[in-house]
């Protein structure tokens, strides 16, 4: 027997399913405008893949610790702006190097926060491409400057778009030009060297999980320039502090969050989303429902799978789930890290393996920025590499543990080449697989978002926040502009703006 909405104790303006950063930015923006907001989170703490866990004196970030959007100038510092909207802030630690690349053919390069220093380092490897390098990265700056001249809100709200266009016509026209372009198309106008083009593939892959010819130029313009403008800034106390502070701001502005509140169904009446049902059977009703789940989870689990709207089926023809990750969270003696070690590293031994499981290895050492995350005399090393969940299914518990251990030691062996003695210095080791990510993050197959199935026209294929179901909105990495904390924060700003207009706030 289906539940009835009459059991609902109160009516909210907005219910947000999930407390990832996109969901929390949506919730806090709306609460700051006076909306009655409820966030429902299935886990014990907020943040999703921007969460944390603690064990034996270590505080580990669940995901990556390379954070954009916490700068203090311009309009693209979206995490700073989201915190400020609910009268809160974070102490941050600036990282002088975005990534230290350890790549094939001896390409050992640090991406310095100083733009000109970075260009000089790259040109030293490719002096014959000096002009092309400058022209490509300068074009990324043109994209960024367009973005940084406007207030980034909903692209689905005509009055906002008109107002922005009248205030900043050149910036808007500049962005329209790049909406349909991918990085690879732009890079190949200026650059011919195959190895340099492979480097630009890695520059994209390290955050978009696809090479340059499938990475939207708008996204790259943001990342490749903001690392030198607002910079990479680590939150004191760990990445989980971002979500904690947003929740604090949400509650201070009258919003609510409930933990261990697993939504199992989005309720509809006459085709309109009107409420949600929890695993406990509780029902909550709202004027608007926002799903911070992936679009696969939203339309195949929370709604009847046989009624997937046509445009969602169409989107799934263009996008597929990105891989999940095999993750090693390690505690190591501080003596294992040589002097001058940077916080973030990317390791690849063979260009042909960039996109294969265990090909590209990502490494974060956040205690180089914030030593308080580990016991005195120790560091955290978080190493992770793409893996598909299919490779971890259908095995006994014993075989699963054995496979985890074998994979972990393969990763440690690779890290030993950069950090000799790592094995002997291990104090703590936790191994997570795609099954772990699925379990704790509640994301189908443990995926970290959508990636194109084929080359698409820039960002034009990405869906916005509104859906074809009245009253239902989506937010997060399955919506424009895609993956990354600053990107999902943009999604949250846009979703909240669209809903506020719809509710007349």
Q: Give the pLDDT of residue 372.
A: 97
DSSP output for 121-172 = HHHHH-GGGHHHHHHHHHHHHHHHHHHTTS----TT-HHHHHHHHHH-HHHH
Identify the H or E element spanning 431: strand 426-432
How far is the C-alpha of 466 from the C-alpha of 156, rounded, in Å? 8
Q: Which residues on adjacent β-strands are paired with residue 326?
A: 385
Q: Give the pLDDT of residue 456.
A: 67
How far is the C-alpha of 316 from the C-alpha of 206, rounded, in Å? 23
Sheet holding 324-333: strands in order across?
107-112, 97-103, 344-347, 361-364, 378-387, 324-333, 426-432
Tokens of 17: 């399913």
Tell me the H-state helices in 209-286: 217-229, 240-252
- Cβ neighbours of residue 184 under 8 Å, at least 6 residues apart? 197, 200, 201, 211, 212, 213, 214, 215
Query: Smallest Cα–Cα separation from 18: which of 478, 480, 497, 482?
Result: 478
Query: Smallest Cα–Cα separation from 337: which of 383, 384, 382, 379?
Result: 379
Q: Mean pLDDT for each consecutive 10-residue tract of the chain (505 residues)?
A: 47 96 96 96 91 94 88 85 92 94 96 96 97 95 80 57 58 69 92 97 90 88 91 94 96 96 95 95 96 93 87 85 94 94 96 95 97 97 95 94 96 95 94 92 87 70 86 91 85 93 90
How far is the C-alpha of 388 from the C-alpha of 324, rounded, in Å? 6
**From the CB of residue 110, how many other CB atoms can be counted at a distance below 10 Å?**
18
Task: Tell me the residue ranges of DSSP E strands in 97-187.
Answer: 97-103, 107-112
Query: Smallest Cα–Cα separation from 145: which of 174, 125, 117?
Result: 174
Strand, helix or coil for residue 284: strand
Tokens of 205: 């892959």
Strand, helix or coil for residue 274: strand
Task: Let me know: does 59 contact 238? Beta carbons within 8 Å.
Answer: yes
Bridge-based pairing state of the strands 361-364 and 344-347: antiparallel
Strand, helix or coil for residue 18: coil
Tokens of 138: 């300068």
Backbone angles phi, psi at 99, to 5 degrees: -145, 145
Q: Which residues on adjacent β-strands are paired with residue 253?
A: none
Q: Give the pLDDT of residue 36.
A: 97
pTM of the model as a whole: 0.90
Q: Give the pLDDT of residue 459.
A: 59
Task: Let me know: does 59 contact 135? Beta carbons within 8 Å.
Answer: no
Tokens of 173: 């026209």
Tokens of 12: 């909210």
Task: Let me know: does 116 contact 175? Beta carbons within 8 Å.
Answer: no
Task: Let me know: does 99 contact 66? Beta carbons within 8 Å.
Answer: yes
Tokens of 213: 């010819």
Question: Is the preceding omega at residue 257 within 30 degrees of 0, hence cis?
Answer: no
How far is the C-alpha of 479 from the C-alpha of 90, rounded, in Å? 26
């Amino acid at each position: 027997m289906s539940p009835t909405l009459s059991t609902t104790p109160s009516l909210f303006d907005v219910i947000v399913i999930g407390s990832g950063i996109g969901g929390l930015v949506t919730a806090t923006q709306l609460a700051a405008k006076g909306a009655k907001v409820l966030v429902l989170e299935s886990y014990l703490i907020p943040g999703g893949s921007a969460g944390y866990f603690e064990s034996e004196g270590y505080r580990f970030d669940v995901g990556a610790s390379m954070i954009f959007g916490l700068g203090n100038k311009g309009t693209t510092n979206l995490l700073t702006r989201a915190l400020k909207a609910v009268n809160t802030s974070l102490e941050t630690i600036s990282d002088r190097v975005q990534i230290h690349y350890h790549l094939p053919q001896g390409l050992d390069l640090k991406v310095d926060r100083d733009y000109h220093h970075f260009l000089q380092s790259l040109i030293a490897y490719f002096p014959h491409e000096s002009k092309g390098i400058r022209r490509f990265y300068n074009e990324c700056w043109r994209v960024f400057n367009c973005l940084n001249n406007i207030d980034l809100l909903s692209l689905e709200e005509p009055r906002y778009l008109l107002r922005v266009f009248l205030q900043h016509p050149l910036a808007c026209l500049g962005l329209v030009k790049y909406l349909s372009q991918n990085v690879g198309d732009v890079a190949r106008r200026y650059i011919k060297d195959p190895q340099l083009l492979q480097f630009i593939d890695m520059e994209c892959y390290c955050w978009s999980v696809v090479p340059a010819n499938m990475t939207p130029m708008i996204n790259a313009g943001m990342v490749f320039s903001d690392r030198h403008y607002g910079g990479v800034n680590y939150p004191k106390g760990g990445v989980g502090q971002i979500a904690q502070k947003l929740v604090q701001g949400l509650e201070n502005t009258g919003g609510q969050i409930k933990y261990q509140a697993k939504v199992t169904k989005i309720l509809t009446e006459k085709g309109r989303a009107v409420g949600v049902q929890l695993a406990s059977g509780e029902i909550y009703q709202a004027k608007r429902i926002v799903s911070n789940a992936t679009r696969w989870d939203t339309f195949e689990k929370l709604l009847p799978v046989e009624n997937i709207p046509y445009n969602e089926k169409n989107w799934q023809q263009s996008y597929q789930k990105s891989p999940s990750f095999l993750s090693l969270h390690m505690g190591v003696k501080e003596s294992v890290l040589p002097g001058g070690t940077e916080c973030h590293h990317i390791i690849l031994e063979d260009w042909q393996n960039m996109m294969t499981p265990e090909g590209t290895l990502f490494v974060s050492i956040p205690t180089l920025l914030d030593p308080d995350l580990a016991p005195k005399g120790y560091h955290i090393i978080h190493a992770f590499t793409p893996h598909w969940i299919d490779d971890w299914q259908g095995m006994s518990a014993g075989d699963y543990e054995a496979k985890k251990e074998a994979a972990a030691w393969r990763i440690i062996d690779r890290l030993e080449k950069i950090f000799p003695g790592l094995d002997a210095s291990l104090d703590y080791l936790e191994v997570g697989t795609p099954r772990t990510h699925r379990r704790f993050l509640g994301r189908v197959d443990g995926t970290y978002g959508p990636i194109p199935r084929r080359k698409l026209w820039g960002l034009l294929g990405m869906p916005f926040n509104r859906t074809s179901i009245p009253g239902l909105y989506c937010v997060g990495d399955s919506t424009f502009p895609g993956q990354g904390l600053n990107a999902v924060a943009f999604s949250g700003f846009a979703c909240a703006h669209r809903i506020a207009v719809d509710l007349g706030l």
